[in-house]
Amino acid sequence: MKEKVQAAWNKRPLVISGPCSAETEEQLVATAQQLAATGKVDILRAGIWKPRTKPGMFEGIGAKGLPWLQKAKELTGLPTAAEVATAKQVEDALTFDVDVLWIGARTTVNPFSVQEVADALRGVDVPVLIKNPINPDLELWSGAVERVARAGIKQIGLIHRGFSSYGNTEYRNAPMWHLAIEMKRRNPGMLIVNDPSHICGRRDILQETAQRAIDLDFDGVMIESHIDPDKAWSDAKQQVTPERLGEMISSIIWRKEDV
Ligand code: PEP
Ligand code: MN
């Protein structure tokens, strides 16, 4: 693996940020530059293909956004991460040098899809993050980790993004912290980051949720950011400006050994 990506992967606390979706080249590049300017971000994330719950919504810019991500990396030096859900998406992402791939919550639930992604990763040296499935099923989460590991991927990390439940709650996705803690116990030493953006679904409780994760010994966070959050094409309510992201990262009390 490239040294720079390895260094980012091993960084503690690990901070991953960027827009829910890549929308335009300008939006992605400007977000990346502002994030880089904070000096608080280790990996730039952007959704290229978006698994939306219902049809008719913005379903991601698609492969056309990959050169934008590459440009953002060239301009900022930040390694990049994107979600992949099919073999073709893996192939396209790797063609455009995406440094870290992640499997989304709606993919982790489906063993056929996870296996397809895992097969596409065989023989590839790329770190892979695996989000918890949308339903609170640790066996599915573990199964996805096993499928990716059996494909020969050495660098595997976990993302805790909360679990769907019916009806309105304080959270968009219930954190069910005990499940993340149990997953950590089952995978000692495996990187685990918290994704307060998809847990909270709103900005005002992001920081306290991220803090809770750090207090529970998580290795870092993935937080969505956008140059103009209210105008975001997806997940507008939960995104923050790069400036706010920087402030939040500075205000979190990190594990002593990490700072
Ligand atoms: C995302 O990270 O933008 C995303 C779609 O997340 P999740 O898979 O957690 O819903
Ligand atoms: Mn999102």
**45 C-beta closer than 6 A to ligand 1:** no
**223 C-beta closer than 6 A to ligand 1:** no
Indicate whether 258 belongs to any domain. no
pLDDT in tens, 144-185: 999 999 999 999 999 999 999 888 789 999 999 999 999 999
The enclosing domain of 200 has a CATH number of 3.20.20.70
Q: Calculate what percentage of the chain has a pLDDT beyond 70.
A: 100
239 pLDDT exceeds 90? yes
Domain that residue 169 falls in: 3-253
Indicate whether 259 belongs to any domain. no
Query: What pLDDT was estimated at residue 44?
Result: 99
Residue range 71-79: average pLDDT? 98
Residue range 222-227: average pLDDT? 99
Query: What pLDDT was estimated at residue 167?
Result: 87
Query: What pLDDT was estimated at residue 82?
Result: 99
Q: Supply the residue whose CA is at minimum distance from atom 9 of ligand 1.
A: 105
Query: What pLDDT was estimated at residue 227?
Result: 98
257 Cα to the center of ligand 2, angstroms: 30
For residues 82 and 102, the answer to whether their CB atoms sit within 8 Å is: yes
Indicate whether 169 belongs to any domain. yes
**198 C-beta closer than 6 A to ligand 1:** yes
Q: Which of 3, 167, 8, 185 has the alpha carbon at shortest distance from 80?
A: 8
Indicate whether 160 belongs to any domain. yes
Q: Where are the alpha helices (DSSP H) in the chain?
A: 3-10, 25-38, 66-76, 87-95, 105-108, 111-121, 138-150, 177-186, 196-200, 206-215, 242-251
18 Cα to the center of ligand 2, angstroms: 10
Instruction: With a threshold of 0.90, tell me whether the complex ipTM lies above it.
Output: yes
**161 C-beta closer than 6 A to ligand 1:** yes
Testing ligand 1's pocket by substitution, the residue of 58, 61, 83 carrying the most ligand atoms inside 8 A of its CB is: 83
Indicate whether 99 belongs to any domain. yes
For residues 81 and 101, the answer to whether their CB atoms sit within 8 Å is: yes
pLDDT in tens, 4-56: 999 999 999 999 999 999 999 999 999 999 999 999 999 999 999 999 999 99
Q: Which of 127, 150, 180 has the alpha carbon at shortest distance from 9?
A: 127
Total domains in the fold of the chain: 1
Which ligand has its closest atom nearest to the C-alpha of 53? 1
**105 C-beta closer than 6 A to ligand 1:** yes
1 pLDDT exceeds 80? no
Query: What pLDDT was estimated at residue 70?
Result: 98
Query: What pLDDT was estimated at residue 120?
Result: 98
Distance of CA 140 to the CA centre of its chain: 18
